[in-house]
Structure 1
Amino acid sequence: MRAQVAIIGGGPSGLLLSQLLDVHGIDSIVLERKTKDYVLGRIRAGVLEQGLVRLMEQAGVATRLHAEAYRHDGTLISYGNETFRLDFSAHTGSSVMVYGQTEVTRDLYAAREAAGGKIVFNVEDVVIHGADTDAAHVTYTLDDKDHRIDADFIAGCDGFHGVSRQSIPLDVRREYEKLYPFGWLGILSETPPVNHELIYASSKRGFALCSMRNENLSRYYIQCSLSDKPEDWTDAAFWAELKRRIPAEYADQLITGPSIEKSIAPLRSFVTEPMRWGRLFLCGDAAHIVPPTGAKGLNTAASDVHYLIEGLRQFYESNDSQGIDSYSHKALARVWKAERFSWWFSSLLHRYPDQSEFDLKMQQAEIDFLRTNQAAQRAMAENYVGLPY
């Protein structure tokens, strides 16, 4: 087989890239190691920056998003029982949309299928060959048969554990990583959200987040030990701990119910450089990971797709390689700003095991400064709704 672009990974970044390529008349093949049902069964964040919303519009897949998503013009931040609202619209004239990543992926699958897009599921033994030559190709096995795709370019959208990043030689790539000494225990419940906007809560017992998917589906998180396991926490224990960490007025309003999903996610900041090697381009989690605080993972992957699409369009429409040559530099410049924001926001709200009394006072002063300073609120709002591409 041959394609102008071979895409490894059938998650939202790979599908969005494939759909946008199709819009611009550039053909692609997507390889996914799991089934479609498996991909759609993954529970992920659902806060979309306006940049991602615009990309969905350009891809022709924003109809359901605009009909069902919730627009959030601000968020609540609490420290103990003190709560203040940060107004995104007032500070930036913009907002975010709450729409589950699963729904983004579902919309993209529907669009690719309607367009006759080529997606190959259940692939194994994917290997990238000749990425630093003019004969780039990908091999894989499917149903015990060997297959090959020759391509002009290869897009690695296969996540942190995929083959794409590992295909860049160690003497070429450099990796930066910070591991956080805690995780997030999250549950999904068929209950109405406790508030119409997200609540980010810092307490003496640790961080908590009150989020939602829709008016009858809520997503809640609490900071937990990395040694914890989901089965260590009963639903009753989770709800009791969440109530201890959020302000009393919201704890009193909280409607609880059985969890329909429960998991623990470790927190990591990770970046690899460069994001391009020859004809191979890394997108999303294949190149960088952010803590979930502030919901930058999917949104940063979307900005990668934006820069790559612009570069490939320029190449195919004008035979100009400037865009693909500058891809890694442009993408990384924005990635590091997203990393900074997620690191800062995580440091602001979580309890660290080695924090001194002085550290705790500084953390409280930082939150109070954010509560009372308009310039600080504007800076946070600009980062939360999404820095420009």
Structure 2
Amino acid sequence: MPDDRPVALDEYPVHQVPLSMKHLATGDRNAYDRCIFHVFDHQGRALLILGLGVYPNVGVVDAYATLRLGDRLHAVRASDALGDDRMRLAVGPLRIRVERPLQTFVLSCAADPADPEGLSYEITWTADFPALWEPHHLQRRGGRLTLEGKRFVQAGHCEGWIRIGGEEIRLERGRWTGTRDRSWGVRPIPGEEGGRLAEENPTEGFHWLWCPVRFEDRFLMVVVQEDADGYRTLNDATLVRNAERDLPLGWPQADIAYRPGSRHPTSAVVHLTRPGDRKPMELGVEVLTSSPLALGAGYPPADDWQHGTWVGRDWTDRRAYDLSDPSAHPRAAYGVIDHAARCTLDGQVGHGIFEHGSFGRHDPSGFTGFDSVAP
């Protein structure tokens, strides 16, 4: 066993507890620290989702990228043993380079030498608005804290290229939008039995909406989480403008239109309230294309790979999913799905992500159980 030594980050005055930056202040195996980026065009042709995460108490670092193009979802996933250098955000062919914190990032995926027509990209993601804190996220099962996350969200523009199947797609400012989320804390990763608390506190229903939208001169963030009976455990609607105070927009209420026989949204209207005069505002949402996070991206309930799972050193996997037949991937409907969307607010047109998941009973929507769908 090697001797315990300081790591490079220990040279900087960033410590919050009397421990090396190599170690966490919690021994919870579900501790995590990760990010997600969305990159999408304004016509709904392409949706690229990528992220990287570290899981210090299980010793894993992993990353993923998925590209929705037509009815094909192209995925690259990589995982490795977590090392001491937390400033190097790279796993296998996937890399995130922080050029300017909170401002500019270079996102890249190296081509596979054995398959040069597979997915590769190099994209500069640039923020157009300040980062916004999201509400502190807490979730319990019985008496146990199962999720606690600190998060912030941001929107910007993207430039660069994506290559797939012998085609190069150019990303131009004004035609592509980017959003991103950073979070850290504790959230469930595979490999742990739920025990008595899970058995005696089954999930009856879960309803989730996470919606960052970029307009030309403003950025809107809406997040809602509700239980089966509609009890709200997470709530925020905030308008961000450069050089102005953030504007809280009250208690968002969403009217969501679903594809018949499913819980797949096609459009939505999110009702907001301006402070002061209490004037109602409406965020209109038109879904352009969609990407299930349970396919390729490693989110639950994926059955081929999930974040934080130890699959060995220097593991890389590339594959493609056929999305032309939704019944071929039944688990995807029970995971959160990210939808690239065209949005309207106060006469302006913007673009963003309408992330939605609704499973089990949700009384306000009229869903009675896990097999309940829209008429």
- Which of the five TM-score ranges fits, normalised by the shorter chain? under 0.3
Higher relative contact order (CA 8 A, sep 6+): 1
Identify the structure with the greater strand proportion.
2
Q: TM-score, normalising length from structure 1?
A: 0.25
Identify the structure with the greater helix proportion.
1
> Highest CA radius of gyration, 1 or 2?
1
